[in-house]
Amino acid sequence: MNKSLERCRGYRRLTLAGLFVVALGLTQICISTEPAWWGARGVKSTAPASDYAIANQGQAKWFALKAEEELRFKLPTGFNGPIYTTPLPTGNNYAPINQGQLKALVQQLYLRIQQAKAANPTLPITLPQVLAGTYPWTDTPADDQNYALVNIGQLKYVFSFEFNRDADADNLPDWWEILYGLDPHDATNNNGPSGDPDGDGVSNYIEYLQGRNPTSSGAVTDFNNTFIQLEVY
């Protein structure tokens, strides 16, 4: 993946804090909602956005360490151990970072995410848009430009995963809406909390709370495997 990330309004400059070389094929994508953990874990400031500015190695390492903190806090038991088992390389934090270096830094985080998702298919995590494979870049090496410099927008993109993201603020997590074919960016009609795409008289929000499929009507079973009638309050 290599193309420049389009500038997205509302992004903020990262606050900051040596690396090594290897491979990335960054896609052209605009993230509409920044993950809440960026602010909570101190990886951004209130300065104006500068997505086309060149990212440096210190910024990337700081982002990676904070991403590791977030994953260890949110991933289930068995997957919340240390991800970076050896210290990150030292070096000139103000030196620019290239795509190969960023790829080497990020891939350990996504391997852990994919391992957790394989064991927990309904893990409430939203990954970067157009994630084509294990990592947030294309699987084919044909479009890699490993020595191309990374900009701030691309750096943000690879760290844009979030647990329980709700882009349209409708109280339906993005991962759940995507799972059942609803639009996570539309809070109206059948895509919204009051929607009822399966016509069973139960709103999407209630179906989410009850762990039901909002696109398939029918009763659910209780823990004794007997069918129960749901009541809506």
- pLDDT digits over 110-160, tens only? 999 999 989 988 788 888 865 556 788 877 788 888 899 999 999 999 999
Q: Give residue for tokens 């479009």.
A: 143
The segments of the chain whose pLDDT lies below 50 read 1-24, 27-28, 219-233
Residues paired with residue 96 on neighbouring β-strands, in sequence order: 56
Which pair of structure tokens corresponds to residue 13? 């400059």
Determine the longest span between alpha carbons in the chain, in angstroms.
64
Question: Where exactly are the structural domains of the chain?
Answer: 36-163, 166-216
* Integer Cα distance of 177 and 140 in angstroms: 29
Q: What does pTM read for this prediction?
A: 0.66
